[in-house]
């Protein structure tokens, strides 16, 4: 489907680069380059978790990849929390990017916080769980079923691979110094079956907004696990 592209796939909270395996294999089979980094403190990098690991750390992880691999014209994809990360990358390294894809992702405006887009009861529960489980170091792993997964094998695979999410990013004020996406083309993939309730307000805010293309995908929040073929097809179609 068109010329070969370079994809950088950024995972969400509690996940790691491992979650993109099924999508990455499909993109590679079409002749594209694919990178799926694991953010500091998560996945196979869980041993690097400290209280200082925050959103800036995760943005630096991705920027570092772009620079070290000398990547250009990148299709930058962010899932869930990864949507906040790619917004930060776009604010700092726009010249290396071709397009942003928000896969059922969180979107936070300049000056706001990740916690501010969470329903108040969710934010309260996460702070409480972080304090009780780790003294505020991390948000403990949830049940995989909250991500819309139903296949027993998928549920088991995701549950055993997830690791606690660094907490420092949760209340960190964003510093984009401009609009979300920094003027780049933006696609939002809205996963609707079932919809992830915590993102309802975010989706309503951006649906129909100039500069945003909305695409519906009839699967759950962890689309790269539950519907990898369909997710890959969307990524191929809109670039």
CA distances from 238 to 2, 26, 61, 134, 173 (A): 11, 15, 25, 41, 31
Within its chain, how far is the Cα of 231 from the centroid?
14
Q: Catalytic annotation on 95?
A: no
Structure tokens belonging to residue 102: 């928000």
Query: Coil, helix or strand for 211?
Result: coil
What's phi and psi for 197, nearest 5 deg?
A: -60, -35
Q: Which of 36, 80, 118, 226 is labelled catalytic?
A: 80
Structure tokens belonging to residue 207: 């649906």
CA distances from 161 to 42, 91, 141, 221 (A): 10, 30, 10, 17
Distance CA 83, CA 34 (A): 18
Closest Cα to residue 186, out of 211, 217, 216, 209?
211
Peptide bond into 21 cis (omega under 30): no
Distance CA 89, CA 56 (A): 10
217 within 8 A of 230, measured Cβ to Cβ: yes
Task: Please list the active-site residues.
Answer: 80
């Amino acid at each position: 489907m068109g010329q070969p592209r370079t994809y950088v796939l950024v995972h969400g909270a509690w996940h790691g680069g491992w979650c993109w395996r099924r999508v990455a294999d499909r993109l590679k089979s079409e002749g594209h380059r694919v990178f799926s980094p694991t953010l500091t403190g998560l996945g196979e990098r869980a041993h690097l978790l400290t209280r200082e690991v925050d959103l800036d750390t995760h943005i630096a992880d991705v920027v570092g990849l772009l620079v070290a691999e000398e990547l250009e014209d990148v299709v930058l994809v962010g899932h869930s929390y990864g949507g906040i990360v790619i917004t930060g990358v776009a604010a700092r390294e726009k010249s290396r990017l071709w397009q942003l894809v928000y896969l059922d992702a969180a979107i936070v405006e300049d000056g706001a916080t990740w916690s501010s887009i969470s329903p108040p009861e969710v934010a309260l529960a996460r702070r409480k769980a972080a304090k009780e489980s780790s003294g505020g170091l991390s948000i403990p792993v949830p049940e995989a079923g909250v991500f819309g997964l139903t296949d027993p094998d998928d549920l088991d695979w995701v549950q055993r691979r997830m690791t606690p999410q660094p907490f420092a990013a949760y209340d960190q004020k964003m510093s984009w110094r401009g609009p979300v996406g920094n003027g780049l083309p933006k696609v939002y993939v809205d996963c609707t079956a079932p919809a992830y309730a915590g993102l309802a307000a975010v989706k309503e805010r951006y649906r129909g907004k100039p500069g945003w293309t909305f695409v519906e995908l009839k699967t759950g929040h962890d689309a790269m696990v539950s519907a990898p073929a369909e997710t890959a097809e969307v990524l191929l179609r809109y670039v």
